Amino acid sequence: MLGECGMKEWERRVLRKNSVTILQDLVVDDLLIQCLQQDGILTENMAETIMAKPTSQGKSRHLLFLLPKRGPQAFSSFCAALTATEQQHLSRLLMDFTEKDKSFSEPSLSRPTQECVIPVKRARTHESMEMCLDADSPVTTAVVPCMPEFFQSHRSQAYPMRSCPRGLALVLSNVRFDSANTDLDVRRGGEVDEETLRRLFMELDFTVSLHKDLTAVAMRRCLEQFAQRQEHAEYDCTVVCLLSHGVEGSVYGTDGQLLELDWVFEVFDNARCPLLQNKPKMFFIQACRGEEMDNGVDQLDGQERTQSPGCEQRDAGREGERDDKEREEKDRERLRVKLPQRSDMICGFATLKGTAAMRNTKKGSWFIQELNTTIRQRANDTHLADILVQVNGQIKSREGYAPGSAHHRCKEMSEFTSSLCKDLYLFPKYYPNN
């Protein structure tokens, strides 16, 4: 029965010929699956089976296995779902290929339109304080995969990155605040940031949890529960993203209460989170760290200033030679098993201490935009510290675009701190054990 009412032969051929590109670029998320369910292409059981696959390629592969058997509308519904989930490059690829590949007479398919009843774009409007500051923003592209040769040549100096999934990722995003208890504005554009990060880390094969609009107490509870998840023992790293209003050293809950960042880092330190000992822990903080607006300065002609050379000296005095071999052996043993209280962390901040972060109310925050673009383009051959240096460079070159307002030509400068002890390569889409 399914064979008689399945996908047309030329549509099957189009999917087969483009399967490599689809498997590499396709993001199978809840919205895409729901669109296909709305059209009757997937059953609930099929949807659960697809989403249970541990990797993005596993989800894509199982979906492509099912589609040809799901009726004559499966191809057009799949293209429509791609458009609805902002994967138009894949939809265009299939539709353009269709015109070349149809070699016999069949009714031509019109270009699909968004017919999914689920809202695919959240409201993104202007607000008074954070205006639409730029005229343009980076275009999202698929994550560039790591090549096996690169993995083999760089794995020795890098953190182990073999697990599938890579790790757990937590995104806490506060957009709307309790107007009865605080005068904090709606963070318009924050919805764009949370979706950008969710899709990015899904493509990097993280298991992503997104929690929205939490009080400070709820944020603490969520972070503590996340840090104690047993899956950390099996995975190679973790990611925590905090998106909210903020001040130096803290971010706001929706109730106007503050969550201290030092407390957040403490939750994931070597004492309180032993399952993540010696594993890289990534933090990304999109929040203001003060109220000062960076209006920038004019760059003067001439050579740039360079740092004066310095000499490195030990901060501690030289220890005397020890003759007691037994004590020396005990000291080595103690050094081998003890860890600092906090290590193997890297944290990217949207802005410098004391200054405000810039957010485009339509396209999202400057920092999240640049982080997303740079990771997608460079994670295949660049470790995270260098990626954040490149993000700094992109942020440095941006200017606010709001003629006639105080925000026109305003600036921002991101920064990061690191206690990483090895190179942190994500080696996207490469699994040596497969």
| Active site positions, annotated | 245, 288
Contact at 8 Å (CB) between 164 and 55? yes
User: Among 139, 188, 152, 141, which residue's Cα sits nearest to residue 359?
Assistant: 188
Q: What's the chain's length in residues?
A: 434
Q: Say whether 379 sits in a helix, a strand or coil.
A: coil
Alpha carbons 97 and 425: distance in angstroms, whole number: 35
**CA–CA separation, 111 and 109 (whole Å):** 6
Residues 6+ apart with CB under 8 A from 1: none
**DSSP notation for 76-103:** HHHHHHHHHTT-HHHHHHHHHHHHHH--
Whether the link from the prior residue into 280 is cis, omega within 30° of 0, is no
Question: CA separation (Å) from 19 to 91, 200, 387?
Answer: 13, 21, 30
Residue 65 makes CB contacts below 8 A (sequence gap 6+) with: none
Amino acid making up residue 151:
F
Identity of residue 248: E
CB 208 within 8 A of CB 202: yes
Helix residue ranges, H only, 128-189: 148-154
- As given in the structure block, the two tokens for residue 377 are 């383009």
Tokens at 33, concatenated: 């699956």
Task: Determine the angle formed by the axes of helices 44-51 and 56-66, rounding to 10 degrees.
Answer: 150
Tell me how far apart the alpha carbons of residues 208 and 239 are, in angstroms, rounded to a whole number. 9
Nearest to 377 by CA among 136, 143, 87, 27: 143
How big is the CA angle at 247 (ends 387 and 208), to the nearest 5 degrees? 50
Q: Kindly give the pairing relationship between strand 250-252 and strand 246-247.
A: antiparallel
Q: Which two tokens stand for residue 167?
A: 């790790």
